[in-house]
Structure 1
Amino acid sequence: MKPLVYLDHAATSWPKPPEVMLAMQKAMDEAAANPGRGSHQMAVKASRVLFESRRVLSRLFQVHNPNDVVFTHNTTEALNLAIKGLLHEGDYVVATMVEHNSVRRPLEFLKRTLGIRVEYIPVDSQGNVDMQKLRSALSRRPKLVVCTHSSNLLGSILPIAEIGEMAHEQGAIFLVDAAQSAGRLEIDVNAMHVDLLAFPGHKGLLGPQGTGGLYISPSVDLEPFLHGGTGSQSEEIEQPAVRPDRYEAGTPNTIGIAGLKAGVTKVFELTSQRIYQHEWSLTQQIMDGIEDIPGLRILGPDKGEPRTGIVSFVSTEIDSSRIAFQLDREYGIAVRAGMHCTPLAHEAVDTLQTGAVRASVGIDTTAEEVELLISAVKNICGA
């Protein structure tokens, strides 16, 4: 087995900072009781872990009240809470063609079961939203506008602040999927007019899997996704109205959330600007290295244009899955191939039948590792 070159950070960042593992071990040793369910010292420490984690996330996203940040197990759960907790029969929703299935599938489920209306705004080959068609759709006054901050296939970065302002002008609620941007791009929920922000803990925030969350604007009320014990207002038959308890039924992942706090703290230390610039530079290196391979097409923004740390490509000569398989088994390089849970984006760039190979870099990725990828792709593709 060759040493692993990990280029699948768009799925999960790895390796985690040592501080994350240490924080999780400390929480396991000292704060492993149920937060909010007891007054003994360990339960109080567990509650403190959750509060301090909310506080650092609030600072990262410029949220005024930490209690408006609720913890989920991942971005998918956060998006389901936002979409299913907000929409009702007959509502009209606007989304884009670069949305992940974590947005599209809940919307299509509600379309089938509640009769909501959904319109997906086209994007061009670089992942840019057709703003004219978006304005036309917004003129029909949707209840909800959903938009990914950055495409998990193309790496394109959408103009969140502009879209949010347009959505608010038409009285719509604005939901942003920050799966690929949290930790990598600066996010200010107020300046960007974001009412709901779904984010993962295990990608750009450098935390463990099984963590994530949803920012919910004070002006938005969602129906809870889960009902059950919260440790507060237990005498009431209904779910508490107070945040964050209203949206956090059951025992939380305190150990993981302790790791998430350490990951976010590391992001502050490194800075989102430095993380983005490092990852962007590596994407340019990849594109420079593989762009002249015969039969190979790079997806997403052109060289020199903004993009997150993702470079996806297809070959007219070799199947995408075959390329990824050979990279793994013959070169010890981990990438991802397939549909990437975003079929509409593949439709937009004409790769619905082929899928794509996605290489995604992280803050620990080196230029030397990128050169290994370039050399391997050239060998596999016969360049």
Structure 2
Amino acid sequence: MNDNKPIIYLDNAATSWPKPSSVWEAMERNMRESAANPGRGSHTMAVKASRVLFETRKRLARLFRIGNPNDIAFALNTTHALNLAIQGLLKPGDHVIATSLEHNSIRRPLEALKRKQGIEVTYVPASKDGTIDMKALEAAITPRTKLIAVTHSSNLLGTITPVGEIGEIARRRNVKLLVDAAQSAGVLPIDVMGMGIDMLAFPGHKGLMGPQGTGGLYIHPNLELEPLMQGGTGSKSEAPEQPNVRPDRYEAGTQNTVGLAGLSEGVNYILKETPEAIHAKERELTIQLMEGLQSVQGLTLLGPGVEVERTAIVSFLLEGVDPSEMAFLLDQQFGIAVRAGFHCTPLGHETAGSYETGAVRASPGYFTEKSEIVSMIDAVKEINRTLKA
């Protein structure tokens, strides 16, 4: 990378950067003043640590319209949360419906249970731009269908799935709905009750502006899961089994209090700015990027057209140029950070028709400047000219 150029960060779909200053300030303050074990003692520092966790739950509950903050179990990331949901709910003989847009964080746990427990999995195909056929999805429901697991937004195509409509189908057919909000939490409005979501898995390190190693799972109050882990909780310590009380049942071991202090401030930032405002700005940047890239000869954009609402994910292929080479040149020659490859979603690449090559993914964020989008477009044009001269 040219050291004279500041980094242009377009990899927010993986981890958002930069973070609001309040996030890292809260983490430093917590480490200095209250980095004791939450829920494990009655001394002043332990109580302060417990308050950090509860405040984080309250802010998340407000953001996602969750009635009881204790219905949120903290996790290391979306993958951890999805495994808690999938492995905690499903039993041998159950049937699950997913889609051809899913990340490996849904696909791999399902496939593992398919091998080990004999669950049945149906992947409802999406169109090349990521549109899900709702009639096909409902037609896939059988008397043994226990769960519909679906991404809220494709991490490859940016397609926004109609979660509310899927929720209506799930309620009508008495099927549970698990939503992967890896690309939507903090960016799109989410109302778990209004959208019929039984379980919502979300990361702290992406749209919620928090640090890595944070996230969580909302679990409907009428839904009980088998814990993914057993261990110390600070409550019911005399019992040999995991307690039933929430959230302790799903949070064995010491929590990442420092990280959750940062997440709390990230969520607070989102609440002040609002997901609607964040999405609107990111939408402008996405349109600017797509329209600029469309003018590059031999370049193909993946996903919905520019006129269709999507999250801030723009994946593309350039004829004759390996996606990994493109990402390398963008980084080394122009100081632009993107991601190339399969993005942990081979299903998505099969859907998009890019399974043989992978793709380049550029993902602007709330702090991306329009001038940086111009630099990205110019860099792709320059690489194209140079490689094909």
Q: Give TM-score scaled by structure 2 length.
A: 0.97
Deviation beyond 2 Å, 4+ runs, structure 1: 138-141
Cα drift, residue 290 of structure 1: 1.0
CA–CA distance in 2 between the matches of 1:290 and 1:74? 32
* Percent of matched pairs sharing the same residue: 59
**How far apart are 1:138 and its partner, in Å?**
2.2
User: What root-mean-square deviation, in Å, do the aligned CA atoms of Structure 1 and Structure 2 show?
Assistant: 0.9
Structure 1 residue 130 displacement after superposition: 1.6
Distance (Å, rounded) in 1 between the aligned partners of 2:343 and 2:11 = 11
User: 1:1-383 to 2 correspondence within 5 Å?
Assistant: 1=3, 2-140=5-143, 142-382=145-385
The secondary structure found in structure 1 opposite 2:145 is coil
Rounded to whole Å, the distance in 1 between the matches of 2:110 and 2:378 is: 42
Give deviations 1:116-163, integer Å, cap 9, x for gaps: 000011111111102221121125551000010000000000000000
Normalising to structure 1: TM-score of the pair? 0.99
Within 1, Cα distance between the matches of 2:293 and 2:323? 15
Task: Check the 8 A contact 1:139/1:170 in 2, yes or no.
Answer: no
Runs of 5+ in structure 2 lacking a partner? none
| Conserved 8 A contact 1:138-1:167 | no
Q: Deviations over 1:242-280 (max 9, x none)?
A: 000000000000000000000000011111111001111
1:13 alignment partner AA: S
Q: Secondary structure at the match of 1:119?
A: strand
Cα distance in 2 for residues equivalent to 1:139 and 1:311: 36
Deviates more, 1:287-296 or 1:8-17: 287-296
Deviation string for 1:329-359 (max 9, x for gaps)? Answer: 0000000000000001100111000100000
Q: Distance in 1 between matches of 2:42 and 2:177?
A: 38
5+ residue gaps, structure 1, are none
CA distance in 1, matches of 2:122, 2:68: 33
Contact 2:148–2:176 (CA<8 Å) still a contact in 1? yes
Q: How many residues align?
A: 383
What amino acid maps onto 1:189 in structure 2?
Answer: V
Bigger CA drift: 293-302 or 181-190?
293-302
Rounded to whole Å, the distance in 1 between the matches of 2:121 and 2:240 is 35
- What is the one-letter code of the residue matched to 1:117? E
Preserved contact between residue 141 and residue 171 of structure 1 (Cα < 8 Å) = no
Measure, in 2, the Cα distance between the counterparts of 1:87 and 1:124: 28
8 Å contact from structure 2 (residues 93, 144) kept in 1: no
